[in-house]
A and B are shown apart, each in its own frame.
Chain A
Amino acid sequence: DTGVSQDPRHKITKRGQNVTFRCDPISEHNRLYWYRQTLGQGPEFLTYFQNEAQLEKSRLLSDRFSAERPKGSFSTLEIQRTEQGDSAMYLCASSLAAGAASSYNEQFFGPGTRLTVL
């Protein structure tokens, strides 16, 4: 399977615990995005990387959230001191940054990690 993969698929944790999610993008893709989706809503942008550089962070991303992409390949998203409001689906997507001639960069999504904070 050469698509975007995420691990784990499901995570149940108690409030106050730390959790870490992993995303493996499509191998030749240099851009990687994290989104959060709650029931009945569209995905909300959290952050994105171009190679190993984190280029943008949403104001939704509080100090408890941190993301890394150390070698420009896989990425991790860590949530510290989880709160019940963090319960959501965390989606990772990747894309290939094309040149100026291309105006459309399709993002390919992984299956997501569903987080439940008790």
Chain B
Amino acid sequence: RKEVEQDPGPFNVPEGATVAFNCTYSNSASQSFFWYRQDCRKEPKLLMSVYSSGNEDGRFTAQLNRASQYISLLIRDSKLSDSATYLCVVNPVYGQNFVFGPGTRLSVLP
């Protein structure tokens, strides 16, 4: 089993749709969690950290379920500019290497 797994995608959704991405991780001792966004041929950039209580940033909501070792990202009112690959990232040991999932590609269509 891979350390971090994500929905295989791609997701093709119309503008204004709500889309949810799922991620599971295998190391129950993992310390911190993130969603990164990667545009085509660009470097990954932090979208949001994921807190135990869940957190929201505008149209984006992240949830963490430590018992199920599951992370989610919800995007509401999708924009064309949301088209990208979304990478689930787990930090197994605080401050050390990140483990990236394979990513889920999102295309928001006009």
Residues of chain A at interface, number, CB under 8 A: 27
Given A42-B87, A103-B32, A104-B32, the answer on whether A33 and B45 have CB atoms closer than 8 Å is no
Identify which of residues 59-110 in chain B touch chain A, using a CB-to-CB cut-off of 8 Å.
Answer: 87, 89, 91, 94-103
Which of A14-22, A68-76, A105-113 lies at the interface?
A105-113
A-B contact count (CB 8 A): 57
- What bracket does the count of chain B residues touching chain A fall in? 20 to 34
| Residues of B that sit less than 8 Å from A by CB | 4, 31-32, 34, 42-46, 49, 87, 89, 91, 94-103
A-B contact pairs, 5 of them (CB 8 A): A40-B102, A42-B101, A42-B103, A45-B98, A106-B46
9 further contact pairs, Cβ within 8 A, besides A41-B102, A42-B102, A104-B49? A40-B102, A42-B103, A44-B100, A45-B97, A48-B96, A56-B96, A110-B43, A111-B43, A112-B43
